[in-house]
Chains A and B, each alone.
Chain A
Amino acid sequence: AQSVAQPEDQVNVAEGNPLTVKCTYSVSGNPYLFWYVQYPNRGLQFLLKYITGDNLVKGSYGFEAEFNKSQTSFHLKKPSALVSDSALYFCAVRDGNNDMRFGAGTRLTVKP
């Protein structure tokens, strides 16, 4: 079965510093990988996806993610964090039934 894992429940960074939110995947075949963000009391918002092509994927709000096949990882990154980036981040994989399966989530806190 397709699955993703987010090893960190919580990530804290200072404003202006680079941030990384980690995700590893376990899939059979070619992975369809996604990052979504959830702000308090809101639904999820799509950030970016990897289907095929360049390993470095650029998305919304200055976020990017790097697909690494050898390490089975799809880490989310941003060069300079903003306080407003504080939210819950979910990595997700599209499985064989075309269902979106989410990781456990990582809470990002950016401190001024």
Chain B
Amino acid sequence: DTEVTQTPKHLVMGMTNKKSLKCEQHMGHRAMYWYKQKAKKPPELMFVYSYEKLSINESVPSRFSPECPNSSLLNLHLHALQPEDSALYLCASSQVKGAGANVLTFGAGSRLTVL
């Protein structure tokens, strides 16, 4: 299995809703990432987990809450979002060390619309 699977593909939520984005990989990668991508812009790093521990938080607002329950799963919990948070949310994974640490495998993304 060489894929990163993200669900749901599309999500529409109101500003008072609580929802979650899910990401799963079975490549044995121990680093997992959340990126945010606005239209026609590059992906922006949000969070990095290494060995299931949060190692990087790029000053992301607390309305985004990541969780890594095990080595295969990564969640992004969403609460009280703003319309400007509408974007494509990309999950990626990689090895932590060695040559594979330098290649990220991305999921297809979850397109979020906040009304």
Contacts and interface: CB of A to CB of B under 8 A. Distances in A.
Nearest to B48: A99
Contact of B101 (A41, A45, A90, A98): A98
Interface string A76-109: 0000000000000010001001111111110000
Contacts of A103: 42
Given A42-B109, A46-B104, A49-B102, A102 B56 contact: no
Nearest to A44: B106
A98 B45 CA distance: 12
A102 B102 contact: no
Contacts, number: 51
Interface string A44-65: 1110010100000000000000
Q: How large is the interface on B (under 10, 10 to 19, 20 to 34, 35 or more residues)?
A: 20 to 34
A48 to B, nearest CB: 10
Contacts of B60: none
Contacts of B107: 43
A46 B103 contact: yes
B108 A46 contact: no
A34 B102 contact: yes
A104 B111 CA distance: 20
Interface of A: 32, 34, 36, 41-46, 49, 51, 90, 94, 97-105
The 10 lowest CB-CB distance pairs between A and B, nearest first, are A43-B106, A102-B42, A44-B106, A43-B108, A43-B107, A46-B103, A43-B109, A42-B108, A105-B42, A43-B90
